[in-house]
Each structure stands twice: as C-alpha cells, then as structure tokens.
Structure 1
C-alpha cells in the first residue's frame, strides 16, 4: 500500500526544452557541452560552485557572450508548466505524503519561480511535505545516499514509497534501496497517468 510519493521535477511537472537551450548556445558560439562544462554543471547542481563560477566557466568557452546571454540560454531549457498537472497534484494532497526531489541549480529555480509567478509557485510548493533541491542537499541523483537521506530523515518505508522520474539511472538507484518506481517515458506518458499504473495504492 503506497503512502508516499517522491516526484522528480523536470519533464514530470515542468516541460524541458533542451533543444532551445542548445540552439541558443550554438548561436553564442558553443557547439556543445564539453567534459569540463559537464563537470561544472555537476558541481553547480551540488552547490559546490557559485553562480558566478558557473557562468565564468561558460565565459571561458564563449568569451564574446555576456553573462546575461549565457544565463538566458541556460534558462531556455525551462519550458511551460501545464496547469492541469498542478491541479492533479493538488488532488493528491492529504492522500499521500509527497516530496519533490530534483537535480537542479539556483539559476533554474529562480527562473522557474519568476516565470510562473509567486502564486503558482507557492501553490505548487505547498503540495509537498518537503522540496529537495540537489544544490541545497549537496548531492544529486543517482547517488543512492540521496534516497537514504530522505528515508532516514522522514522515517519512510521504502516498500510503501513510490518514486517518479524520467531517467532510468535515477529510478534504478531508488530501486536499490527498495523504493517502488515509475520510470516515466517523456512524450508517451504523463504524471497525470498515475492512476492508470498498476501500483498497489493508485
């Protein structure tokens, strides 16, 4: 009997538009993410480097781009958040313990909150017992300790907990600690299909 749901954020609630971000960076002169930028992103999502250090890393690759242009290109990945997904989530409040767990950074979260406005963002956040941002936790999925930390801190029973994420490596990690998972297939499934899935409680 599932009594707890842990949700990912990107492509679960807010749609992601990676192509728009990649195209914007191409126009600024960046052909693609380098190993150095991938490592920098990993550190940024763990809160190990500052926003300025992160942006400076891109500046080294595309010195003719301004920091505002880099930030704007970075934020283009954040797409729309369909209202019906929020309304669906609100229907679950009180029926399950709910948590948000996302690999993200302070630039994206600030942009998301500005984009949807304080009322929408507040309504969304209030659905959760706790919102976990990787940059505040100091670790990111698929690190198993991410899940163990939440289980310990909130005294969750993994056998009664469902984790929803679109990345296989993340759901595989959750499975290792005994959590039930839904590896949502973006473009084919939607979080609102939850009740169509064959989980014990839904």
Structure 2
C-alpha cells in the first residue's frame, strides 16, 4: 500500500467527456470527412496551442478560415458551438472523486490542459470542480503538460510533494513526465481499474 497524501486529477478524458466529435458528428454527414477535418484542419496540435495559451480563438479562427475557405463554417463552429464538445461528466470517475472528498483523507487538486477562453464553460457546467482545493489551468499559465515546468508550478503553488502525490491522467506522455519527476501515477483508461487501485491504497 502506498502512502498517498494528495490526488492530482487530469480533467478531460478522466472526469470530463470532451471530444470534438460530439459536435462534428452533427455537422459532417461523412465520418471520413469529419476525421480528415479533425486531423488536418482543426487538428490536435492546433487545439493544444489554445490549451497552452499560445493562440486565441479571435485570431486563430479567421486565420484558419483564410487558409481553408471551403471549411469556413465548420471552423467557426469550433468556437461558436464549443460547449457541444462537452458530452458531460464521466460519472464513475466523478463518484470516485466524491468518495475521496467525503472521506477527507487526501488533498484533492486538478491539473488540466484547457484553454483559458473555454474554461468558463466548464466552471459553469460542472459542480464537481468545487471538490478541488485548487485547479491549475494550462491556458491561464501559458504552460501545458507534458512540459515539466507546469508540474513544478503545480507543486509550488499547491505545496505538493510529488512522492506523496498520485497523478491521474489519460495521456501516456503526461504520465511518463510525471513519473520521471517522482510522482506516483495512474494511466487512466477505465474508472473500474482506478477504483480498484484506490481500494488497494485504502483511499476509498
């Protein structure tokens, strides 16, 4: 059994079901055309730059529309209809968070790659965010996982000891970086597995 004082959660893919396909399945009739759009036009690195705070939608949307005029409406939807990318909370993981909160045996924080411009949509929608003692949002800090500096900032701001902190994320790159920095880690892909590990550590 590990000695865990703090649990540090990722949000998207762990507690929040965010996926641009939730929106773009409504826009594209052809799944292949949708996948091309999401891999070549509004692609993951383009989205990451917003999460990192390196791009603003006010600039990036018009620039992308200029380069891809045939997809101007679909590009506009990324900002205009962004909340439709949020399907909702991942209930079974949120239940784990609630159990941790009710037991009160560990400190609870979140570290998320999320655009500062779209973060208010999450705050407005998800009440479970109030369970965290603190949340560090990449877009507000102009740093994003897996940059080691965002982990260092998280530890400094929230006074965390990595060797006493369990970091939960669905990204292998983020998990690898956290592990190199001394965090205990859980590479998330299934709430059932996470709960099982929490039981083994006597956290829930």
Scaled to the shorter chain, the TM-score interval is: 0.7 to 0.9
Displacement of 1:72? 4.4
Q: Tell me, yes or no, if the aligned pair for 2:96 and 2:195 is still in contact at 8 Å.
A: no
CA distance in 2, matches of 1:139, 1:11: 19
Structure 1 residues 175, 201: CA separation in 2 closer, same or farther (over 3 Å shift)?
farther
CA distance in 1, matches of 2:157, 2:72: 46
- 2:110 maps to which residue? 100
Q: Tell me, yes or no, if the aligned pair for 1:40 and 1:57 is still in contact at 8 Å.
A: no
Give the secondary-structure state (helix, strand or coil) at the position aligned to 2:73.
coil
Q: TM-score, normalised by structure 2?
A: 0.77
CA distance in 1, matches of 2:97, 2:18: 19
- 1:17 maps to which residue? 19
CA distance in 1, matches of 2:145, 2:72: 33
Structure 1 residues 41, 194: CA separation in 2 closer, same or farther (over 3 Å shift)?
closer
Q: Tell me, yes or no, if the aligned pair for 1:47 and 1:135 is still in contact at 8 Å.
A: yes
Give the secondary-structure state (helix, strand or coil) at the position aligned to 1:5.
strand
- 2:196 maps to which residue? 196
- 2:88 maps to which residue? 80
Which deviates more from structure 2 when the two are superposed, residues 152-161 or residues 85-94? 85-94
Give yes or no for the alignment of 1:125 onto 2:135: no
2:121 to 87, 111, 123: 111
Displacement of 1:78? 1.6
Give the secondary-structure state (helix, strand or coil) at the position aligned to 1:150.
helix
Structure 1 residues 66, 166: CA separation in 2 closer, same or farther (over 3 Å shift)?
closer
Which deviates more from structure 2 when the two are superposed, residues 88-97 or residues 64-73? 64-73
CA distance in 2, matches of 1:178, 1:201: 21
Q: CA RMSD in A?
A: 3.0
- 1:164 maps to which residue? 168
CA distance in 2, matches of 1:179, 1:196: 19
- 1:155 maps to which residue? 159
Displacement of 1:5? 0.6
Aligned residues: 192
Structure 1 residues 112, 153: CA separation in 2 closer, same or farther (over 3 Å shift)?
closer
CA distance in 1, matches of 2:44, 2:150: 20
1:49 to 47, 55, 68: 55
Q: TM-score, normalised by structure 1?
A: 0.78
Deviations 1:122-168 (A, max 9, x none): x4222111111110111111111111111223332211100001111
Structure 1 segments (4+ residues) deviating >6 Å: none
